[in-house]
Amino acid sequence: MKAGWLSAAGVCVVGIGTVVDGVDAQTVTVDLIPTRSNTLFEDPLGQTSGGAAPWIFAGLTLQPQLRRGLLAFDVTAIPAGSTVTAVALTLHLSRTSTGNEPATLHTMLADWGSAGSLPPEPGGFGAPAEAGDATWLYSFYDGNGGGQEWGTPGGDFDADALATTVVGGVGFYTWSSGAMAADVQRWLDEGPGGNFGWMLRGNEDVPQSAKRYDTQWHEDPRFWPRLTVTYTIPGPGAAGIVAGGALLWGRRRRS
């Protein structure tokens, strides 16, 4: 069962007083974990998913079939009016059969779902999709062989990469760029209606290049995805807002 406290906005909040353009401000760094994750498994029927899986996959399998990972984060704990100054996404790569490959991060252009589908270890073939899951053909599968279709099979995303990182063996990898910071700023400014998260793509030209990354459903929290956001809050009330955010996380985690 998915633990409710995983929807909390952050795992750590740190605030530092500063001055921006002559105005007192608080510089804050918060770590967020995903609220949703899934893999789009290439499937002509669009009935395969992994909405409750402890992994996502990205790249091309030996068969070959494409895999594309999806992650979404809730940024509503960041106060409105804040300015996002830096963003970094850290993922733990836990399974691979190839060497160094590029992995790119892309803005999702449509909403998508993650339900209870749970593939068996090692997870690369997915599981039967459940109602509310995203699949290769459907952003929200209806559980009866249909659903809300993507504009294009394989997901609706911006083809221009926000960031690229070369990933190799098992370990932690980080994506960070000004374009990622601008995307998170847009999520904050537009609200939840404009935040569909990101897609992770691997090398889609070389068979057996697919790699596995751990999600927030992994049993070991050390391997969870982490989105580190640094932002500034103008005004004298910033310190109180930061303290309140830290307390909120603590209460949710114990629930």
Q: Cα separation of 134 and 156, whole Å?
A: 12
Distance in angstroms between the alpha carbons of the first and the last residue of the chain: 14
Question: Which residue in 27, 24, 20, 63 sits closest to 43, CA to CA?
Answer: 63
The tens place of each residue's pLDDT in the chain, 255 residues long, gives 333 333 334 445 555 544 444 445 799 999 999 999 999 999 999 999 999 999 999 999 999 999 999 999 999 999 999 999 999 999 999 999 989 999 999 999 999 999 999 999 999 999 999 999 999 999 999 999 999 999 999 999 999 999 999 999 999 999 999 999 999 999 999 999 999 999 999 999 999 999 999 999 999 999 999 999 999 997 654 444 443 343 233 222 322
- Model's pTM, two decimal places? 0.86
The C-alpha atoms of residue 43 and residue 38 are separated, in whole angstroms, by: 15
| Angstrom distance (rounded) from CA 28 to CA 85 | 10
Q: How far is CA 56 from CA 70, 132, 176, 211, 255, in A?
A: 7, 17, 19, 8, 27
- H-run or E-run covering 141: strand 138-141
Q: Is residue 59 classed as helix, strand or coil in its secondary structure?
A: strand
Residue 11 contacts residue 207 (beta carbons within 8 Å): no
C-alpha count within 13 angstroms, C-beta hemisphere, residue 223: 17
